[in-house]
C-alpha cells in the first residue's frame, strides 16, 4: 500500500491565484481530513469528510473548498490564494470510530508559499 499520498510536495503561488492540493489514500478509509501546520500553532483542521459525498468544516475553513466524490480522493482547493495561506498542508485518513478506527495516517505534506 502507498498509504496517504499528496501532490505537489512544494508550490509557490502569487496572491489571487487558485490551485488544488491533491490527496489520495489506498486503505479504503472512510474518514479523511486536511490540516494546516503553522509554527507555534500545531495542526489546525480545515475540512474533513466521513465518506464519499459528505464533507464538513473544521476550525479554519475560510478560503478553502473540498469535495469527496470517491472514497480514495479528497482534494483541497484554494480559491484565491493569500499570503496568510502560506503553510504546510497535511492530509490524513482513518477508519471511522464506529468501524473501529481511531488513529489517523498522515501524508508527507505540501509546503505552500503565497507571495
Partner 1 sequence: AQSVAQPEDQVNVAEGNPLTVKCTYSVSGNPYLFWYVQYPNRGLQFLLKYITGDNLVKGSYGFEAEFNKSQTSFHLKKPSALVSDSALYFCAVRDRDTGGFKTIFGAGTRLFVKA
Q: Report the residue number, 50 or 52, with the smaller CB distance to partner 1.
A: 50
CB of 16 to partner 1, least distance (A): 29
Torsions phi, psi for 59 (to 5 deg): -75, -35
Buried b or exposed e, range 60-75, using 16+ CB within 10 angstroms:
bbeebebebeebbebb
Q: Report the residue number, 24 or 109, with the smaller CB distance to partner 1.
A: 109
From residue 20, give the alpha-carbon distance in Å to each of 28, 40, 77. 22, 26, 4
Q: Report the residue number, 17 or 37, with the smaller CB distance to partner 1.
A: 37
| Binding-site ranges for partner 1 (CB under 8 A) | 4, 31, 33, 35, 40-45, 48, 50, 56, 58-59, 90, 92, 96-97, 102-109
CB of 7 to partner 1, least distance (A): 14
Contact 105, 27 (CB under 8 A): yes
Q: Are strands 76-78 and 110-114 parallel, antiparallel or unpaired?
A: unpaired
CB of 114 to partner 1, least distance (A): 20
CB of 80 to partner 1, least distance (A): 26
Amino acid at each position: 500500500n502507498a498509504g496517504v499520498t499528496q501532490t505537489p510536495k512544494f508550490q509557490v503561488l502569487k496572491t489571487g491565484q487558485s490551485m488544488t492540493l491533491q490527496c489520495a489514500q489506498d486503505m479504503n478509509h472512510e474518514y479523511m481530513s486536511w490540516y494546516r501546520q503553522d509554527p507555534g500553532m500545531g495542526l489546525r483542521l480545515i475540512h474533513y469528510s466521513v465518506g464519499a459525498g459528505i464533507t464538513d468544516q473544521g476550525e479554519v475553513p475560510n478560503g478553502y473548498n473540498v469535495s469527496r466524490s470517491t472514497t480514495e480522493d479528497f482534494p483541497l482547493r484554494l480559491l484565491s490564494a493569500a499570503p496568510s495561506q502560506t503553510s504546510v498542508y497535511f492530509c490524513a485518513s482513518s477508519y471511522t470510530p464506529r468501524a473501529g478506527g481511531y488513529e489517523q495516517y498522515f501524508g508527507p505534506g505540501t509546503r505552500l508559499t503565497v507571495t
